[in-house]
Amino acid sequence: MLTQLSATELAAKVRSGDVSAVEVTEAHLDRIAKLDSELGAYLHVDREEALRQATAVDAMVKAGNGGFLVGVPVAVKDNISTLGMPTTCASRILEGYVPPFDATVVAKLKEAGAIVIGKTNLDEFAMGTSCENSAFQDTHNPWDPDRSPGGSSGGSAAAVASEMAPLSLGSDTGGSIRMPAALCGIVGFKPTYGRISRYGLVAFGSSLDQIGPFGRSIEDTALLASVLSGHDPLDSTSLPDSAIRSEGLKDGSLKGLKVALPKQLFGAAINAGVMDALEMAIENLEREGVSCTQVDMPSIDYGVTTYYIIAPAEASSNLARFDGVRFGPQVQGDGHIGNFSATRGKLFGHEVKLRVMVGTYALSAGYYDAFYHRAQQVRGLMAAEFESVFRSYDLVMSPTSPIVAFKLGELKQDPMALKMLDLCTIPANMGGFPSLSLPCGFSQDLPVGMCLTGPVNGDERLLQTAYAIEQALPWGHRRPPLP
Amino acid sequence: MSISLEEVRHVARLARLDLDEPELLAFQGELNALLGHFQDIQGIDVEGLDPKPHAVGLHNVWAEDLARPGLIRDEALRNAAVSRAGLFIVPTIIEE
């Protein structure tokens, strides 16, 4: 079945003329039609538009042209702008909004011959860890539809895990790519901040946000990262010489690899089943010659608090653009400011309003020094602690999520428990470090993810090591129990 | 440290969020819970530490001052709630 093939295999088959881009796209559209009413991964699928793109790609291939992703369908998180296709951020405030431009990553996908097959569900404005904050629908975990796929990029993770797309895009502000990748049993990668352009990503926490790829293998994920990356003059935080090269991906070795295991992420905060799965994986890796050492990294304990000051502060400023004038629906109030406040009060969801309130408070006169300024100092402390560990170790390893996929609704009444799910992933955003999650075992028949983090600009080395680890662990081929 | 209902109302006004009474009360509870957690970083010694405002700092990023195509007016206005004569329409702000 075409939907079971990897992106690498699909592109090779389309390039050689073995199958057409239209056939590949139809196979995935058919699978979406069959499964997505149950899973709810997609917010928007336009069959005709996808097939129109595929027909154009087939003509390109016939003419002897074609990029690295010819004929490969890619699902895009609905906070990434797509020309002529709705982009709602799963929020009522952007209902009906159709961007007049493509995000740089979407333009790059199209140049590479990929098919944008649909837009995926998320927690509203990427604020959440369960996808339950979407204003439109819940997304269900392909391993157990009663459970959450994680968040905020839950739709993108569920789409790839269920073979409704071989690849997808997410965004990661505090773990929003890696955490759902772990809960859905796939690979999710947040590159070094600045190596993939953020132009066209609806901003949440600008100093933390990073677009990144999902795939079912490290090879596919690295392929997509290489297509998306590179300097972009439209994003002034884009790094120079930022292309992520995927040549040499398979040349890594585990022998002599030095891995740091932070004590703070191997203790009581982590569920026992998750810990067992990770420890078994670590034993496997040690047999391959990896040396794993426990290290003390006390600043990790401050991560969640620091994040919940910095991210909302930046969000409160970024979300000021939603005024009901230039895009999205408008709710009538008293005069201009009245319209402004009524639109935002009625059309933002609860979690978004909470974070805008938290951020506004943390930035307001009298509290700025105690909260925002201090949080930035602690952020510096966290980054420095990781940098000092990277001087002695190749990478930092931990669980990706403290728990496996939880039941939908189970944590809804416990907002702090939901926020703690980002404990292991937040440090990489604080320091801009490249970080990925890959499947490393199972607990209660649900996937467990391993989080690997490397130094700034160590993206190639991280992917190379992750590829070697993936080959050494026996979990790669288990797929969710779906028809 | 706790936040009063009056302060919640003030923050909502600053944030341009029209909230009804039950919502204000709900946010008061949630903000106070979060503020409790914010105390966790108050005890850390940050004396003399530089704040880190960005993940990977770049300085003085310049762009060539060149004309390039932008959005055409009709496209920019297509998503507007109300537009007329090539303009976004908002209620009167300055009285005559």
Give me the residue spans of the domains in chain B.
5-41
Q: Is the pLDDT confidence value at A477 over 80? A: no
| Residue A44 pLDDT grade (very low, low, confident, very high; cuts 50, 70, 90) | very high
Of A152, A229, A246, A437, catalytic: A152
Number of domains in chain A: 1
Q: Look at the alpha carbons of A120, A460, A434, A418 in this order and tell me if their dihedral is positive or negative.
A: positive
| Residue A366 pLDDT grade (very low, low, confident, very high; cuts 50, 70, 90) | confident
Please state, for a pLDDT cut of 70, what percent of chain A lies above it.
100
Q: What is the CATH number of the domain that holds A186?
A: 3.90.1300.10
- pLDDT, residue B56, reads 86
Which residues in chain B are contacts of A344 at CB distance < 8 A? 15-18
- pLDDT, residue A250, reads 97
- pLDDT, residue A476, reads 65
Decide: A185 and A439 in contact? Cβ < 8 Å.
yes
Residue from the list B34, B55, B79 with its beta carbon closest to the beta carbon of A97? B79
Of residues A256 and A474, the one with the higher pLDDT is A256
Q: Which of A172, A377, A430, A435 to mutate to test the interface with B (most CBs of B within 10 A)?
A: A377
- pLDDT, residue B81, reads 92
Chain A: nearest CA to B28, how far in angstroms?
A: 10
Cα A128 to Cα A148: distance, rounded to the nearest angstrom: 12
Of the given ranges (A45-59, A95-109, A410-424), which has the lowest mean pLDDT? Answer: A410-424
Chain A: nearest CA to B25, how far in angstroms?
A: 12
A176 is catalytic: yes
- List, in sequence order, every residue forming a beta bridge with A293; answer none if it has no partner: A260
Which residues in chain B are contacts of A323 at CB distance < 8 A? 16
Q: Is the pLDDT confidence value at A193 over 70? A: yes
A53 falls within a domain: yes
In chain A, which residue's Cα lies nearest the Cα of B19?
A345
CB of B82 less than 8 A from some CB of A: yes
* Residue numbers of the domain that contains A7: 2-254+458-472
Of A13, A20, A77, A134, catalytic: A77
- pLDDT, residue A223, reads 98
Question: Following DSSP, what letter does each residue of A96-149 receive, concatenated?
Answer: T---SS--HHHHHHHHTT-EEEEEE--SGGG--SSSTT-SS----BTTBTTB--
- List, in sequence order, every residue forming a beta bridge with A261; answer none if it has no partner: A294
User: Which residue type occupies A133?
Assistant: N
In the sheet that holds A210-215, the strands lie side by side as A42-44, A115-120, A73-77, A167-172, A210-215, A187-190, A435-443, A446-453, A395-399, A258-262, A291-295
Which residues in chain A are contacts of B84 at CB distance < 8 A? none
Angle, nearest 10°, between helix axes A303-318 and B21-38? 140
User: Which residue type occupies A243?
Assistant: A
Q: Is the pLDDT confidence value at A207 over 70? A: yes
Residue from the list A301, A379, A416 with its beta carbon closest to the beta carbon of B52? A379
Radius of gyration in angstroms for the set of CA atoms belonging to chain B, rounded to a whole number: 23
Decide: A382 and A302 in contact? Cβ < 8 Å.
yes
Average pLDDT per run of 10 along chain B, which is 96 residues long?
92 97 96 90 91 86 88 93 93 78
CB of B38 less than 8 A from some CB of A: yes
CB of B24 less than 8 A from some CB of A: no
| Residue A401 pLDDT grade (very low, low, confident, very high; cuts 50, 70, 90) | very high
Tens digits of residue pLDDT in A373-394: 999 999 999 999 999 999 999 9
Chain B: nearest CA to A191, how far in angstroms?
A: 12
- pLDDT, residue A208, reads 97
Residue from the list B46, B58, B90 with its beta carbon closest to the beta carbon of A336? B90
Q: Which of A305, A357, A386 to mutate to test the interface with B (most CBs of B within 10 A)?
A: A357
Which residues in chain B are contacts of A203 at CB distance < 8 A? none
Chain B: nearest CA to A82, how far in angstroms?
A: 14
Q: Is the pLDDT confidence value at A180 over 90? A: yes
Residue from the list A337, A364, A377 with its beta carbon closest to the beta carbon of B46? A377
Tens digits of residue pLDDT in A111-127: 999 999 999 999 999 99
Tens digits of residue pLDDT in A221-255: 999 999 999 999 999 999 998 999 999 999 999 99
In chain A, which residue's Cα lies nearest the Cα of B35?
A358
A293 falls within a domain: no
| Residue A412 pLDDT grade (very low, low, confident, very high; cuts 50, 70, 90) | confident
Please state, for a pLDDT cut of 90, what percent of chain B lies above it.
60
CB of B71 less than 8 A from some CB of A: yes
On whether ipTM exceeds 0.90, the answer is yes
Which residues in chain A are contacts of B36 at CB distance < 8 A? none
CA distances to A112, A115, A205 from A108, in Å:
6, 11, 23
Chain A: nearest CA to B81, how far in angstroms?
A: 6
A6 is catalytic: no
Decide: A78 and A123 in contact? Cβ < 8 Å.
no
